[in-house]
Chains A and B, each alone.
Chain A
């Protein structure tokens, strides 16, 4: 059971995530979008969406800090367990609450605004369910263990286990003593990862950071292949198809 849950399942989920994303990128670029509903409703979105997105970005940074960076590294630079714990719980709870409030606003908005609800697909609904499940459980596990409870140092168990997945020497034993709240959160998270490529969540993978360094105006040629006509004198007869250059169609759809 341990092996199934903490070795097979995570690898399977990540495989689906990677494979699914590649598949979606190759065959459904047109469907790869945020499907923003701002056109329908803007006033509530202005609060809910930044709260949720900035919150979840902070949560992401927190997870990277807590799970991927070994405890020994942070201690080496002088961050004690107590200091880390304080910071993680404090910032983590704020970020989690932002995310939760933002998400609640967004889901309530989605349900109550007519046009937004009409534009919500079944896929969206399932995705919201899984996403909310993972976020709420993560928050509950943290609050139960660290604020109500005596504190739980997941960096001793969960983090090494997760890193062991990356080294391809999975160590499911680490997860044996982890509280159930964390366990469900983790399983839920991998479910979300597997579901990810098939939902609108893919838009997270196309975060436009390249915009920061790009020149403002973008020019494109219809085809990178050099034209025939500019250097063709009239007495050479009609233009001929080049035989050596492979014909490459460039995707320019209507816009």
Chain B
């Protein structure tokens, strides 16, 4: 047993309203630079739909992920090492810019500079690649909420695998949103595809990163990743990908997409797994067995043998505690409601999803049935083959059974909780019908519906010695605890007395205070010192500018 820790995510699709806040904040944080205008480390797709880049799930076409060879070994679907090197001069299976979309901006200047005339000036779209006029024809979420209708949705590779009859009925059945980031797989095929060895999986937390210095732009990873979550920066000529916001994770903060998620649908936590078992589990013959095979690599953090092995592997005690409290462990292994995205790619993805029950409830309600009645819900999950088969195509390599089981559990939770809400007696038989106990139902309800910040995000900070090493001064005041005399801010003899706080610590506190403050410049109850690094343009904090000289003339004041 070789215990490794993996920072993982689960998304509860029932709660996703498709607002794209995660995508926007992610873009602001990571990809608002030239060269990656077209890249969305986080994107939200409408399902059914073609996805981004278009039809990326069609591995016959894009050749991502792994295949099992006849001898039972794994090799990248796009070819082994030799084939990769032979096709290095022109990757035959790389998506073109048109498969993502051509990034554009608008000629806003024209609105101001246009000469007076009869017509209102318009800002024409300009290509960010050529700078010339362009026509906007596609984007990362062009088919949002089934825009484009049948014509576009019919191009959905998952849908195409279902029969024609299903497809036509499907349009009436349901729509849901699928937010996607890099899966930070246990068996990442992008890492395997990189000729330079620039992409690596971090041993400490399993985050997959691209070493920008080692990347030489051979662009094999773009093909290798079946989720198409590696992007080629066309200005720098390097691959870039979702970083799981590792600078935030390292100090115990959730990723920016999770932090800003309006629906609070994301969960973050550690999973312990047996690295020795991964290769074998990813190579099981039956695609439908991959889901269970991946679960078999996870290690129970409460098991004393696992704890001992984890300690031996150098995993710190606070990390083991975090793994025990991990919402991911609860959702995947204890409540068994989370499913992996496309396990058939054999990459062992670690961003899992709770499939949406709401479409089923919606159909019941629309047809005049009680959408909260257990018998109705169970019957509907069974009768509505289409959504179940579609979800199975996404999450379980086409096996409807696990999907049905999850939807039934979610349905049972609804019914169980309604009884409690209405003041009726608890009915343990509801939980028993889906193989759970009433207490488990309550716990699951608390995690899924109440979804407290501290319960959704259980992130152990990276090791203290690293944080210390990163400080300008490796010192920490022992009185610096919450509410203590040394708690940030001024020292005993007024502002800036005592030993100076390391600048990164100071910035961290300032940023946090400003994010939670409700006045613009100098909040009363928060630390009010503002430096240039943390000043966001709001207000006129004391000490940042020289005092205004009111006697000076207006001209003087305009001078910088």
Contacts and interface: CB of A to CB of B under 8 A. Distances in A.
Interface residues of A, number: 55
A216 interface: yes
Given A33-B215, A46-B92, A218 B465 contact: no
28 contacts: A29-B214, A33-B236, A33-B237, A39-B96, A39-B219, A40-B96, A42-B90, A114-B127, A115-B127, A119-B235, A208-B88, A208-B196, A208-B218, A211-B197, A212-B81, A212-B82, A214-B197, A216-B191, A218-B200, A220-B200, A227-B314, A230-B311, A238-B464, A238-B476, A241-B468, A252-B209, A254-B209, A255-B199
A253 interface: yes
Given A39-B94, A206-B216, A220 B469 contact: no
B131 interface: yes
B239 interface: yes
A255 B243 contact: yes
Interface centre among A206, A212, A220, A221 (most CB of B within 10 A): A220
B187 interface: yes
Nearest to B239: A255
B463 A228 contact: yes
B129 A239 contact: no
A203 interface: yes
B192 A239 contact: no
A49 interface: yes
B202 A222 contact: yes
A223 B465 CA distance: 11
Contacts of B210: 255
Interface in A227-243: 227-230, 238-239, 241-242
Nearest to A117: B130
A217 to B, nearest CB: 5
B94 A38 contact: yes
A214 B214 CA distance: 15
Contacts of A211: 81, 84-85, 194-197
Nearest to B76: A216
A54 B89 contact: yes
A34 B216 contact: yes
B243 A208 contact: no
Nearest to B95: A39
A241 B237 CA distance: 39
A210 interface: yes
Closest 10 CB pairs of A and B: A255-B210, A208-B195, A35-B237, A216-B192, A33-B237, A29-B213, A115-B129, A33-B217, A253-B212, A114-B130
Interface string B228-253: 00001011111111010000000000
Given A221-B203, A230-B314, A40 B234 contact: yes
A38 B234 CA distance: 9
Contacts of B476: 238
Interface string B476-488: 1010000000000
Contacts of B192: 216-217
B316 interface: yes
Contacts of B315: 230
A190 to B, nearest CB: 26
A74 B97 CA distance: 50
B209 A229 contact: no
Given A219-B201, A227-B463, A34 B211 contact: no
B30 interface: yes
- B contacts with A: majority SS: loop
Contacts of A150: none
B555 interface: no
Contacts of B209: 252, 254-255
A206 B196 contact: yes
A227 B219 CA distance: 35
B191 A217 contact: yes
B131 A118 contact: yes
A30 B132 contact: no
Interface string B130-173: 11100000000000000000000000000000000000000000
Contact of A229 (B237, B239, B465, B469): B465
B498 interface: no
Interface centre among A38, A115, A214 (most CB of B within 10 A): A38
Interface string B315-352: 11110000000000000000000000000000000000
B91 interface: yes
Contacts of A35: 217, 237
Given A114-B129, A220-B201, 16 more contacts: A33-B238, A36-B237, A38-B219, A39-B234, A115-B129, A208-B88, A208-B197, A211-B197, A212-B81, A217-B201, A228-B464, A230-B316, A241-B468, A253-B212, A254-B209, A254-B243
B85 A49 contact: no
B121 interface: no
Contact of B85 (A29, A42, A208): A208
Contact of B464 (A115, A119, A217, A239): A239
A220 B218 CA distance: 21
Given A211-B81, A241-B468, A241-B474, A30 B213 contact: yes
Contacts of A40: 96-97, 129, 234
Contacts of B85: 208-209, 211-212
Given A36-B217, A253-B213, A255-B212, A30 B81 contact: no
A251 B211 contact: yes
A50 interface: yes
Interface centre among A118, A221, A228, A254 (most CB of B within 10 A): A254
Nearest to B464: A239
Given A208-B195, A228-B465, A238-B476, A252 B211 contact: yes
A154 interface: no
A32 interface: yes
